Amino acid sequence: MKYCSTRGGVSGLTFTDALLMGLASDGGLLVPEQIPDVRDNLASWRDLSFVELAQEIIALFVDDIERKDLDELIRAAYMSFDHPEVIGTKQLDAIKVVELFHGPTLAFKDVALQLLGQLFTYVLNARGQRLNILGATSGDTGSAAIAGVRGQHNIDIFILYPRGRVSPMQELQMTTVADSNVHCVAVDGSFDDCQNLMKAVFADLDFKQQYQLGAVNSVNWARVLAQIVYYGFASLRQHKESVFAVPTGNFGNVFAAYLAYKMGFPIQQLIVATNENDILARFYATGDYSRGESKKTISPAMDIQIASNFERFLFYYLDRDATKLAQMMATFNTTGRCSIGAPPTDGIFKAYAVTEAETRSALHEVYSEHDYILDPHTAVGYVAAQRSLAAAAANAGQGHGDTETVMTVMATAHPAKFPETVHESIGTTPTHPSLEALRDKPTRSGALPAELDAVKAYLIERISA
């Protein structure tokens, strides 16, 4: 399996080269040159454990790591999860919740980033190299990435996060890590500012090479690859086709679901659930992708106006036309807007934007009716799932939705990561021992303006040291 850029300037990369490159050197995103068709494997895969299925799926995309070594890296990645099947489930009437938060930082990002840490360490040791990871986070990526590489002798990690726009608990998960290879930086701006700064640093190819920079955000293909697994696993555990409602900010999580669908897993539809930062919902309604002002909400990891992984979807939607895609992205970067002219016609995606009031109502409703606590991001997905069920029932002219599908909400974080917001909605404060242990620990972080020169100077000083 080889990898190419969505913008056409890079091709023929091995998996390990793609892993270390992160963002493609032409400014695009790396994607596999083929998407495997696994329909003939589904019957034999149906009863595999999560780890066993991960070993089968990931091996299809990795042919430059010995299979026995790859299998061991995958097995080791999930030893730190506190659920016997890595992910859990909860049935809430017509909606099934898939819990992706049983990893060390209690967020879905752990599923990918625990593996990414294993892969980085293996490849760097094999090549005798070191890496300086630069990432941007709207909440969970930072702590999950740090957990994956903390203490590694040949990796330093730098995480940019928007000051005051992640939850206090998410910030503690990053800033209480004492390992010397971990560097957290509060940026005066939004997550979009942080992400743009990260991309601008990577766009300086001489700087990127000189300081051995790599990516850990979902711009890194390996992140998306690992996330395909839980969609395959969840879909195979059903006896009907799945509809997945995915809380979405940067589009990486739902794009992994899209690839699982393209590979042939039994998936009927994907629901893109956004908060009031609704750029993706507007696109699927109109075909227009236009940047707005980033709004601060109670689901902060989704407070994003530029969904970086959306470029990967457009690449496939445009039939892998890299030239057309590059022109669209150039237009968007210049004007803040691009368009495909009409709503997408492939039918796999449906999108809903959810208000704060609806999110709070869902938190209260689920707790009152099911004694189950959602986090505010999963609550966005829950509202979108309810809307989809109601639309299906209305279309059928009956009092229920499509009986040939299973409505599934992807639970992206443990509610204890957002105790203040959850308490305001349900009157109860969720807790988790690993988070409570952070409250009295010392913290450390840098502080920077949202300026490229300031970020580069910060990196140079600490990498040189």
* Domain annotation covers residue 269: yes
* Domain annotation covers residue 159: no
**Parent domain of 242:** 88-106+222-432
* Domain annotation covers residue 311: yes
What's 273's domain CATH number?
A: 3.40.50.1100
Distance CA 195, CA 458 (A): 16
Report pLDDT for 399: 52
- 275-312, pLDDT tens digit by residue? 999 999 999 999 999 998 889 999 998 998 888 899 99
Counted domains in the chain: 1
Report pLDDT for 394: 85
182-188 vs 213-215, strand pairing mode = unpaired
Residues tagged active-site? 109
Distance CA 117, CA 68 (A): 18
Q: How many CB atoms lie within 10 A of CB 463?
A: 16
Report pLDDT for 249: 87
* Domain annotation covers residue 72: no
* Radius of gyration for the chain, computed over Cα atoms and rounded to the nearest angstrom: 21
* Domain annotation covers residue 355: yes
Cβ within 8 Å of residue 209, ≥6 positions away: none
Q: Which amino acid is at 423?
A: H
Q: Which two tokens stand for residue 386?
A: 């309810």
Residues of the chain with pLDDT under 70: 398-403
Cβ within 8 Å of residue 82, ≥6 positions away: 102
* Domain annotation covers residue 143: no
Report pLDDT for 398: 57
User: Residue 15: in which H helix or E strand, if any?
Assistant: helix 15-21
* Domain annotation covers residue 249: yes
- 348-378, pLDDT tens digit by residue? 999 999 999 999 999 999 999 999 999 999 9
Judged by DSSP in three states, 239 sits in coil
Report pLDDT for 53: 98
Predicted TM-score (pTM) of the model is: 0.93
> Could you give phi then psi for residue 162, rounded to 5 degrees?
-75, 120
Contact 11, 4 (CB under 8 A): yes
State the distance between the two ends of the chain, measured CA to CA, in whole angstroms: 38
- 96-140, pLDDT tens digit by residue? 999 999 999 999 999 999 999 999 999 999 999 999 999 999 878
